[in-house]
Amino acid sequence: MIKYVSAGDSHGEMLVGILEGLPSGMQIDEDRINFYLSLRQKGYGRGRRMEIENDRVKIVSGLFDGKTTGAPLGIIIENRDFKLNKTRREFTVPRPGHSDYGGTVKYEFSNAAIPSERTSARSTAVDVAAGSLLLDYLKIFGVKIFFFVKSIGEVSKDINTIDEETFEKVISNDLFSLPEMYEDFKSAVDRAIEKRDTVGGEGVVVVKNVPPGIGGYGNFSDKLDGIIAQFVMSVPSVKYVEIGNFKPGVYGTEFHDEIFSNGKRIFRKTNSAGGIEGGVSNGEEIVVKFGFKPIPTVLKGINSVDLTDLSNKKSVYVRSDTCVVPAGTLVSAMRISIALSTVFSSQFGGDTVSDVSKNFDFWLSRRKKFWQR
Amino acid sequence: MIKYVSAGDSHGEMLVGILEGLPSGMQIDEDRINFYLSLRQKGYGRGRRMEIENDRVKIVSGLFDGKTTGAPLGIIIENRDFKLNKTRREFTVPRPGHSDYGGTVKYEFSNAAIPSERTSARSTAVDVAAGSLLLDYLKIFGVKIFFFVKSIGEVSKDINTIDEETFEKVISNDLFSLPEMYEDFKSAVDRAIEKRDTVGGEGVVVVKNVPPGIGGYGNFSDKLDGIIAQFVMSVPSVKYVEIGNFKPGVYGTEFHDEIFSNGKRIFRKTNSAGGIEGGVSNGEEIVVKFGFKPIPTVLKGINSVDLTDLSNKKSVYVRSDTCVVPAGTLVSAMRISIALSTVFSSQFGGDTVSDVSKNFDFWLSRRKKFWQR
Amino acid sequence: MIKYVSAGDSHGEMLVGILEGLPSGMQIDEDRINFYLSLRQKGYGRGRRMEIENDRVKIVSGLFDGKTTGAPLGIIIENRDFKLNKTRREFTVPRPGHSDYGGTVKYEFSNAAIPSERTSARSTAVDVAAGSLLLDYLKIFGVKIFFFVKSIGEVSKDINTIDEETFEKVISNDLFSLPEMYEDFKSAVDRAIEKRDTVGGEGVVVVKNVPPGIGGYGNFSDKLDGIIAQFVMSVPSVKYVEIGNFKPGVYGTEFHDEIFSNGKRIFRKTNSAGGIEGGVSNGEEIVVKFGFKPIPTVLKGINSVDLTDLSNKKSVYVRSDTCVVPAGTLVSAMRISIALSTVFSSQFGGDTVSDVSKNFDFWLSRRKKFWQR
Amino acid sequence: MIKYVSAGDSHGEMLVGILEGLPSGMQIDEDRINFYLSLRQKGYGRGRRMEIENDRVKIVSGLFDGKTTGAPLGIIIENRDFKLNKTRREFTVPRPGHSDYGGTVKYEFSNAAIPSERTSARSTAVDVAAGSLLLDYLKIFGVKIFFFVKSIGEVSKDINTIDEETFEKVISNDLFSLPEMYEDFKSAVDRAIEKRDTVGGEGVVVVKNVPPGIGGYGNFSDKLDGIIAQFVMSVPSVKYVEIGNFKPGVYGTEFHDEIFSNGKRIFRKTNSAGGIEGGVSNGEEIVVKFGFKPIPTVLKGINSVDLTDLSNKKSVYVRSDTCVVPAGTLVSAMRISIALSTVFSSQFGGDTVSDVSKNFDFWLSRRKKFWQR
């Protein structure tokens, strides 16, 4: 089964990920991984650190001639500013909204800068490497993952899906925005920059081509929606996760997606369920929405206390970004890539890419009455 | 470490739960468990099954003289209608919104009634037993869990916390409603009954007295918000989970909860974060919100297809409820009880209640500068 | 993935097991399970409790028309003497060799009888139910599990494999003995009975028809030998686990099993490795050996101390057996059935029996150059 | 809870380990880790690779000022010969006894050299780093781990414990031998070298100062002996694991360790149980024995087949060792260090070293009637 774990501090020498359980024979596309790493780094409203770094993945094990061997992949991303920036951060006034306070209490630090070494967004770079690497695993099943920013600050556009062509446009702008929203989103970020403040927003991930019957309901931990919720809610700054379109005022007959058949597959004309019913996919697009709070490091500071003497102080400013919604949306998509990969690998098994592919094809062929590509 | 797993079908002989890792010496309060089981069963808008059943917990192992021994607890809840209702359900037209379709495709059933044997709300009874049993474990840490229904249908009241006194009122009405909302909620259910339809809504869980520093951020799976999200999103009908108060339009300086100290503890005057920052508790109330879709079994049916020949049919009606928001809110609270128990047990260890209690007291005493009861 | 966990006390009302992750469509053979439960209960040298009980499995969930549905199986075995024997055991002098002392210290009991409520051999009945149920899962892969007692006391016969016909003879005698050893084994037990003492011995499990390439070596927890070792070493009374034939004095060229091909499959003429090389099966029989210490409850008592005042006392006698080697050998075989089922399910995935079967057949067909049935 | 996972190929750029769940504030002793790494590399009878490499640990995350922060440790060991030896190994004749055959079948390689990239002893270097780092964690509990080689080839000395002074002598010779055995062991290795063959042997690990009550018996996976068995059986070349002194011919009254009290602690005069009864420690030394098969790479080759055409061939010789018993014994001891650390961390919890230490001291003080240091 595919499993993933990571280590790495924001200002350490490198980030490290271990990705276990891939089948053998899978070609690794380092260029694509590096492309996704570069996507994470760009983003209108991100701070200067992004200019310094230029993340490159290095896979130190589990490959032979560029293909997986079934052995665990060691994934390394060096922190390029490690050599540039040797000044150690130290402060004792926690930033409201960050892990500074809770982490310092938990671990009894005298330096409130330590928790964010692990919790800052920097650690998500290796998640992006793992998640984008796994896009090739998901490709065995025909699955594709698209994403876009749905709102920044008060500016929002309520759409629930995009097509591949639009997705290409989304990832070619630095706000991962639908083209028509770009200027409005940019202005929303600019207003926050002007105020020396930060701004949040919302993202959407759309997973295409997941057949019905993926996930499970044996126990709560098998449910696809619950698994996705954990992977996304634990992305830095995420405060809510939604599957589909929750609307409190609608009745059952309005909410639920009527079932039709077109001879080729069973389908819906609506997607309130967001592709998951009862913990299991239903053959429609899986639509995951999530909201990011504004990041806690604000130029003008927020009222806080000095943990050494409990006196009132403004929180410190640490080199940071104004808006992480685009990068955070990408990270959430890559977390969903990891989540889905664990679920698919558990459901279809397989030692080699050929095994996995054949297991899936056979599975699908037995269910072709209900769903075909 | 505390772990929980369950088995049991909706129309089987009994539900079974196994709860591992409790310390020894904990008094089990079966009356309280049965009280929570009865809370789950009542609920304005629930169907007739509730009248038939009268759930009682039976703990078949892991106790000696009514106290835990450290061995796993076997938790049994008999399905009282098992003997009454021997008629097997069978249908081939899946209910949109239910697991009928995805489950049938996954497991290749010829009977679309089988998936809901496991996914129907019935299975949550044993979760309620486990979660309410664990309230006594959480009491070692002073932690209390309150909950209430925040909206039914279009009727909503946006509050984020309640006190103990109000909670007593909440659980003494059959909608788990704040007293001032009861009539409006009741009317919302009545409107759905009248329409032969179903209606969803939202619930809130408030966890009191969690000190700062609970949870973790080592890896994504350690984060308290992510753990809670999985436990709640996997409750039947839940479509979103939120921690605190996400509001897309606010700036960082507005959103984040300023930090103050009053000599006795560090505190906030606001709680946008919902008690969790960076995956770790911050000493404020943990506030979890979640939304339930209307349940899929509607009296008048929804357009669907017959899986045997793919012809258009209305979905079947299966004895069911109009509104599960109250019961679902309770279930979510009990899932959070389980989630927190796993986190506390991993953080504080302990073989006996005395060990656990002492470990926690010592932990707290070293951090008393920041947080005291 | 197949997972198993249990609860249940020796003198409680019932034992409970939960078996998750089985594919749907698997016919459950309750008669075979009950047959294995009866095998566990017989055994020359077992005490009177065996006469009282007559274990019958009850599967309370996860079945429809006798076939698995993919939902977790709740497995119940009632303790029939629960009603007969209401006298609570209580003592304060721990039996050397039992969990009485360590358990009492860990959990701070005032009654040293409590730990063995969970650690006594009684709890293994539900393991036998789960393991024998899973024999049908392993049958999908053609895998069969045989076992026999290799030694009792000083009487031993050093053989490493048996065929199906002999296995039938083994399980039709009450010492699970090769026919030629029965009288000698019986005398060994009789000598212990006469001495009012207990006696240990050794068992062997032979797993037939496992193709090469089962297991893994990604991390230590993937290795088939390590997984088997954990499942067997944790059987009550087991003190060693061996895979194949360790002999310290032999050289590499003597120990290692030369590789041959006969056109149909690659094979060995020897089996020092016991079917596992580098954590992965090699296509030969998997041979697991293990040794049981004599059980700790001896009629004449052993020097011990009273935990209340630390005075010297003889350990108490609790109704017990003279020799558990036959039952323990069966239990070890059933534990190996569970262990292998988890490994196969993780490697081959599959939602239905047809999926699993097809996945395996395809896997095998791609490797038929090396191994055919 | 402490968790450990690794990645890394024998001829890759580096080995990577991730060690999660350590408390904060633990001083890391890199010198000691490097000393243990050097112990692993020496060993009379090891091949030339050992001369090339000189392993040094690099911890890239989870530290601040040399102390743990509670964040995961990224552990790196560079393969120094990575730059020297760019010649890729390729062969198609599997070595009997190695993972070459099973791994090649499982993963459908055309090159039988790939499996041993992961399964060769090289990967254990990072286990040694993690395990020796954790010796400082175990020191919080007063626990010490000693080890020695008990036999090489036919030369054996049957002792079951050593003291600290002797252990110092053991690790200062290159066979981890008791001084009186050194010459005999050396001759045994020399005889194998002369024969161009390889030789196995046995090792013993003695864990001192574990109080009674460590481990558990809730389910099979909680049992201390089972956990240790998995960690040791999965060490390359290990074929058996034993706890204590199994002797088939002895009676219960002879085998079991009588219990005594000396006012300060309950103790035994014998240690047949090897310190574990019923899955839980009993306060005596934990004694783990294990046997290594001779390594499979022999200079003169063993009969095998070419996997491309199934013709008979001699297995290839790959630069290797004659005897890995000393290094393997060290590796097993370090695996036991990891195993025990996971168990202690789960039992005692704690966010900081002070928490852990206080939790343990309190635990012990409540049990001081039975066991004191």
Residue pLDDT, tens place only, C74-93: 999 998 866 655 557 899 99
Query: Which pLDDT belongs to residue C43?
Result: 79
* Structure confidence by residue, pLDDT tens digits, C289-316: 999 999 987 778 899 999 999 999 998 7
User: Is residue A272 exposed (0-12), middle (13-18) or buried (19+ Cβ within 10 Å)?
Assistant: buried
pLDDT at position B125 over 70 = yes
Residue D60 to residue A13, Cβ atoms within 8 A? yes
Q: Compute the nearest-CA separation of A106 from chain B (Å).
A: 4
Residue of C127, C242, C300 with shortest CB distance to D239: C242
Residues of chain C above pLDDT 70, percent: 96
Cα nearest neighbour of C65 on chain B: B88
Do the Cβ atoms of C106 and B7 come within 8 Å? no
Cβ contact (<8 Å) for B218 and D72?
Answer: yes
What pLDDT was estimated at residue B44? 83
Which DSSP category does C36 fall into? H
More confident residue, B47 or D166: D166
For chains C and D, CB pairs below 8 A equal: 362
Hey, where are the domains in chain C?
Answer: 3-365
CA distance C188 to chain A (A): 47
Q: Distance (Å) from the C-alpha of residue C217 to the closest C-alpha of chain A?
A: 7
SS3 of A206, please?
A: strand
pLDDT in tens, C25-78: 999 999 999 999 999 998 787 765 555 568 999 999 999 999 999 999 999 999
pLDDT digits (tens, 9 = 90+) for B62-79: 999 999 999 999 999 998
pLDDT digits 0-9 by tens, A133-191 = 999 999 999 999 999 999 999 999 888 899 999 999 999 999 999 999 999 999 999 99
Span D254-274, pLDDT tens digits: 999 999 999 889 999 999 999
Cβ contacts of A358 on chain C, cutoff 8 Å: 359, 362
Band (A299; pLDDT cuts 50, 70, 90) = confident
The pLDDT of residue A104 is above 70: yes
**% of chain A at pLDDT higher than 70:** 96
The pLDDT assigned to D336 comes to 98
CA distances from D166 to A310, D177, D332 (A): 54, 10, 19
* pLDDT at residue number A204: 98
Tokens coding C267: 């094979």
Residue A107 has pLDDT above 80, yes or no: yes
Q: b/e map of B151-189 (b: 16 or more CB within 10 Å)?
A: bbbebbeeebebeeeebeebbebbbbbbeebbebbbebb
Residue to mutate among A69, A217, A348, A354, with most C CBs inside 10 A, is A348
Rounded CA separation C115/C99 (Å): 6
- Which chains, if any, share at least 3 CB pairs under 8 A with chain B? A, C, D
Flag whether pLDDT at C207 surpasses 90: yes
Read off the pLDDT band of D49 (50, 70, 90).
low
Q: Tokens 């009629």 label which residue? A: C299
pLDDT band at residue C151 under the 50/70/90 scheme: very high
Chain D: closest CA distance from residue B349 (Å): 4
Interchain contact, C106 vs D216, CB within 8 Å: yes
Mean pLDDT of chain C: 94
Closest CA to D159 of D284, D282, D287: D287
The answer to whether residue B86 scores a pLDDT higher than 60 is no
**Residue A82 above 90 pLDDT?**
no
Question: What is the distance in angstroms between the Cα of B14 and the nearest Cα belonging to chain C?
Answer: 6
Residue D86 pLDDT > 90: no
User: What residues of A are in contact with residue B279 (Cβ under 8 Å)?
Assistant: 99, 119, 234
* Amino acid code (one letter) for B241: V
pLDDT tens track for D217-234 = 999 999 999 999 999 999
For chain C, which residues lie within 8 Å of any Cβ of chain B, measuring from their own Cβ? 3, 5-9, 12-16, 18, 20, 24-25, 58, 60-62, 64, 69-74, 76, 103, 106-109, 111, 114, 117-118, 351-352, 354
**Neighbour subunits, A (≥3 Cβ pairs < 8 A):** B, C, D
Using CA coordinates, name the residue in chain A closest to D106: A351
pLDDT of residue A224: 98
Residues of chain B with C-beta less than 8 angstroms from the C-beta of D346: 1, 346, 349
Contact C18 B25 (CB under 8 A): no
Predicted local confidence at residue C53, as pLDDT: 61
Residue A65 has pLDDT above 80, yes or no: yes
- Chains contacting chain D through 3 or more C-beta pairs under 8 A: A, B, C
CB contact under 8 A, A72 and C219: yes
Q: What is the rounded average pLDDT of the residues C102-113?
A: 97
At residue D218, the pLDDT reads 98
A282-291, B88-97, D266-275, range with the lowest pLDDT: B88-97
When pLDDT is averaged across residues B107-123 and rounded to a whole number, the result is: 95
Q: How many degrees, rounded to 5, is the angle at CA D314 between CA D311 and CA D318?
A: 130
Mean pLDDT across D13-24: 98
Contacts of B270 (CB under 8 A, 6+ apart): B257, B258
Specify whether the CB–CB gap between D136 and D63 falls below 8 A: no
What pLDDT is attached to residue A60? 97
Chain B residue numbers with beta carbons less than 8 Å from the beta carbon of C57 are: none
| Residue D176 to residues D9, D34, D167, D202, D349, Cα–Cα distance (Å) | 27, 17, 9, 11, 34
Are A306 and B259 a contacting pair, CB within 8 Å?
no
Q: With a cut of 60, say whether residue C345 has pLDDT above it.
A: yes
pLDDT at res. A171: 96
Tell me how far apart the alpha carbons of residues D100 and D94 are, in angstroms, rounded to a whole number: 5
For the cut 80, the answer to whether the pLDDT of residue C8 exceeds it is yes
Averaged pLDDT of chain B: 94
Residues of A in contact with C347 (CB under 8 A): 349-351
What pLDDT is attached to residue C300? Answer: 81
Residue C84: burial class (beta carbons within 10 Å; 0-12, 13-18, 19+):
exposed
Please check whether residue C303 is in contact with residue C294, taking contact to mean a CB–CB distance below 8 angstroms. Answer: no
Q: What is the pLDDT of residue D54?
A: 86
Instruction: Please state, in angstroms and rounded to a whole number, the distance separating the CA atoms of residues B349 and A108.
Output: 18
Determine the Cα–Cα distance for residues D321 and C75; give it in Å rounded to an integer: 50
Judged against a pLDDT cut of 60, whether residue B159 lies above it is answered with yes
Query: Is C103 within 8 Å of C120 (Cβ atoms)?
Result: no
In this prediction, residue D85 has a pLDDT band, given cuts at 50, 70 and 90, of low
Interface contacts (B, D; CB < 8 Å): 69
Whole-model pTM over 0.90:
yes
Q: Which candidate in D128, D156, D256, D303 is best for mutational testing of the C interface (most C CBs within 10 A)?
A: D256
Give the pLDDT of residue C349.
Answer: 97
pLDDT for C298? 78
Rounded to two decimals, the ipTM of the complex is: 0.97
Closest residue of chain D to A73, computed from CA coordinates: D7
For every residue of C244-268, DSSP letters joined together read S---TT-BHHHHS---EE-SS-EE-
Q: What is the CATH code for B3-365?
A: 3.60.150.10
- CA–CA separation, B15 and B37 (whole Å): 13
Question: To the nearest whole angstrom, how far is the Cα of B297 from the nearest Cα of chain C?
Answer: 21
**Shortest CA gap B112–chain C (Å):** 12
Task: Using CB atoms, list chains with 3+ pairs below 8 Å to chain C.
Answer: A, B, D
pLDDT at C49: 55
Question: In chain B, what residues touch D354 (CB-CB under 8 Å)?
Answer: 366
